[in-house]
Amino acid sequence: MSDKAAAAVPKPKKDDKPSKDTKKSKKPRNYDLGNGIYRFSKTRMFHKKAQYLFKGKKTKPTKKPRKPLTIEKTIGGEKNGGKRVVLLRKRRNYYATQDKIKKPHAKKLFKNHRRYIRSSLTPGTILILLAGVHKGKRVVLLKTLPSGLLLVTGPFVVNGCPLRRVHQRYVIATETKLDVSGVKGHEQIDDRYFRRERKKRAKKEEGDIFSTKKETYKASDQKKTDQKTCDKELVHVIRKHPDGKLLFTYLATMFGLRSSQYPHRMKF
């Protein structure tokens, strides 16, 4: 190649940028116009992509050929001349006499979970029950049990609510409080205290089908004595309070809402 021909060929410059056509990235057909609204709808794209041609067509799964576990071998010789099935993978020579003891996985049981109780639910606060047989009654919170339930009482003498366990969800805490530090009639009460003894059913005999009746729950003598001691101590605490007379009527009256009264706007 001559020097003149070489000079005629233009050399590529460093500053030369690639053309716009090569740099342009392909924009998708259905792009987001803003606020999650796309250019084409779902049905429009269904027809544009011609997905109706593939609808209902199912490709059958291809079965992979399994490797054989055994193989037949011919045995030569005058006296043999037969066939023998031989395992391709030999069995183990040693088998343990006992199975290995597997350690059980540590289960975090619900009874061992940590309980979180609202800061407003402190011993002595007067609560409003929202569910159950005694809903609408005002009760005194004695303590929180290890299960996360609240131990409350009316007292029974005032409004007929006995010693009960209540979940904190079904309770509204009020600002009125009592000093329950001196009350010790509930110290022995725990979750086991409320377990009911269920007797085994006797076998049905002829003629005893209609004579047997369902046993209704009756409080034991121990629970009756505990209720009396707890009520006696609580009544003594309420009488000592400066607004004692008002507190008795407050605990005795039921909680209720009238029209245009909203609990989320109230201050208890």
**Structure confidence by residue, pLDDT tens digits, 181-237:** 988 888 899 999 998 877 776 666 555 555 566 777 788 888 999 999 999 999 999
Q: What pLDDT does 106 receive? A: 79
Whether residue 205 lies inside any domain: the answer is no
DSSP secondary structure code for residue 151 in this structure = E
pLDDT tops 80 at residue 155 = yes
Which residues span the domain enclosing 120? Answer: 113-191+220-256
Residue 199 included in any domain: no
CB-based contacts of 73, cutoff 8 Å, min separation 6: 83, 84, 85, 86
Is residue 225, in this structure, part of any structural domain at all? yes
The pTM of this model reads 0.57
Asked whether residue 183 is domain-assigned, the answer is yes
Residue 90 domain flag = no
164 falls within a domain:
yes
Q: Which tokens go with 50?
A: 């011609």
CATH classification at residue 157:
2.30.30.30
263 domain residue, yes or no: no
H helices present in the chain, as ranges: 3-8, 20-23, 42-48, 156-159, 221-240, 244-252
Residue at 212 is within a domain: no
Q: What is the pLDDT of residues 235-266, one digit of tens each?
A: 999 999 999 889 999 999 999 888 888 888 88
pLDDT value at 75 more than 60 = yes
Number of domains in the chain: 1
- Asked if residues 125 and 173 have their Cβ atoms less than 8 Å apart, the reply is yes
